[in-house]
Structure 1
């Protein structure tokens, strides 16, 4: 269930968008755990995929940037990236395996700036600025701060500590300013990458009827979504970035954020 406040014009746009929403493209920054117990190098898989239905995998070129922010300090992780092949239910495609050094307590905000991807079926380029947050020893340090991407989703709840059955609120930003009326596709990672192999786990849920789950940001860029199930959830604000063209084609600069939800035990 989604909860958001809309003006009349935004509501009409949302209703028009829902029936035709296609399965969502999502760039994953996948780690087995978001909460890290011990210091060390945490492996990260970068995969461009449709994880809800274990769908088509897109070839991922070497990113423009891959880095982590910890206690306000940025560390380049490009040297950790190794090309791999990732296999979904229907095909295999190029992906990357990297790592992030986790030592001190606090948040580790992972950021990927990919190359624009040409989607032939839509005759346009897609570039997803992607964030996820790891934490060590439950000390919050960086999760609530924007990282300065052309477009990003700023979490208003700790993104690694969401309770299933509660809600998550984010704010869509472009060049640091709120984006009103942004269309946010919402994806559950029903299948997850196998960190010891090249394939994915079996999906633990199926996509709901009616196509992609969509929310619309309000006048101040905020949206809220009720989290129904534990696991990883992705949010992609489509076309929220400032650039709209690449190599003579339409460009959709999307802001992607992954969060981790937990069941109360």
Structure 2
């Protein structure tokens, strides 16, 4: 009986962990800039359960950058404290001055999750295209882990199929598991039950995955791997969950 109870509890805990996927979030005020009035971007940076709109505390990120045309700019000094979903988060402003594809990226401080007895580091990035330029959207940034888009990561319609490749230390990850959630900001979508909160797809032998986006909004793709290195917690080494997170906007077409 004791073994049966323990097994049942383990299944419940596993189920809860799956239903409450963590996502590093990096959401700009626009994913495409075609007019000067939209060039002053606002970027919201947080750590949360986006579909369920449950925020979590986020310490100051270790790094915040933007890359365009082969150059990377350090934006960490532009970070300011904010409150997102009722929890500590960060915000920044960035002015787009010339045509290009801008890749924003955040490396957070390691977050210890007691429920999973491990540290979590989610490298989050997003892409903004400006003033007609769309070159370089498929270039990796050289992050510890990242998702490199194979589908153009902007100006996509809801219903499109998105493809990406998962990289860890610059190499594809065969069979990588990718969690997918929408940023349910207006709480306009309700999952039928816990299984529907986080969608899951697996990459092929080349680290490539595909997902058909069902409705308009911001969608996060998070590929999880365990780091070789561990981080000490109260004198004991703990595993580190590495997340490659990519946030993209999918838009409904205009109708007459």
TM-score of the superposed pair, with normalisation by structure 1: 0.83
Residue pairs, 1:94-243, within 5 angstroms: 94-191=88-185, 202-209=186-193, 210-211=195-196, 212-239=198-225, 242-243=227-228
Over 4 Å off, 4+ runs: 17-20
Instruction: Give CA-to-partner distance per residue, 1:165-209, whole Å, 9 cap, x none.
Output: 120000001111110111110011111xxxxxxxxxx31212353
3-state SS of paired residue (1:146): coil
Instruction: Give CA-to-partner distance per residue, 1:143-170, whole Å, 9 cap, x none.
Output: 1100001110000111112221120000
Deviates most, 202-211 or 77-86: 202-211
Are positions 1:28 and 2:25 aligned together? yes
Q: Which has the higher contact order (CA 8 A, sep 6+)?
A: 1
Residue pairs, 1:22-61, within 5 angstroms: 22-36=19-33, 37-38=35-36, 40-55=39-54, 57-61=55-59
Structure 1 portions without partners, runs of 5+: 1-16, 192-201
Q: Tell me if the contact between 2:180 and 2:199 (Cα under 8 Å) persists in the aligned partners.
A: yes
Structure 2 portions without partners, runs of 5+: 1-13
Instruction: Give CA-to-partner distance per residue, 1:217-265, whole Å, 9 cap, x none.
Output: 110000000111111110000126x444212111101100011111223
2:240 to 226, 251, 257: 251
Deviates most, 208-217 or 68-77: 208-217
Q: CA deviation at 1:20?
A: 6.5
Q: Distance in 1 between matches of 2:182 and 2:229?
A: 27
**2:75 corresponding residue in structure 1:** 77
1:63–1:20 distance in 2 versus 1, CA, 3 Å? closer
Q: Tell me if the contact between 2:57 and 2:89 (Cα under 8 Å) persists in the aligned partners.
A: yes
3-state SS of paired residue (2:115): helix
TM-score of the superposed pair, with normalisation by structure 2: 0.86
Q: Tell me if the contact between 2:53 and 2:184 (Cα under 8 Å) persists in the aligned partners.
A: yes
Q: Distance in 1 between matches of 2:122 and 2:131?
A: 30
Q: Tell me if the contact between 2:231 and 2:238 (Cα under 8 Å) persists in the aligned partners.
A: yes
Q: Distance in 2 between matches of 1:81 and 1:236?
A: 23
Q: Distance in 1 between matches of 2:174 and 2:75?
A: 33
Q: Tell me if the contact between 2:44 and 2:90 (Cα under 8 Å) persists in the aligned partners.
A: yes
Q: Distance in 2 between matches of 1:77 and 1:233?
A: 24
Q: Tell me if the contact between 1:109 and 1:142 (Cα under 8 Å) persists in the aligned partners.
A: no
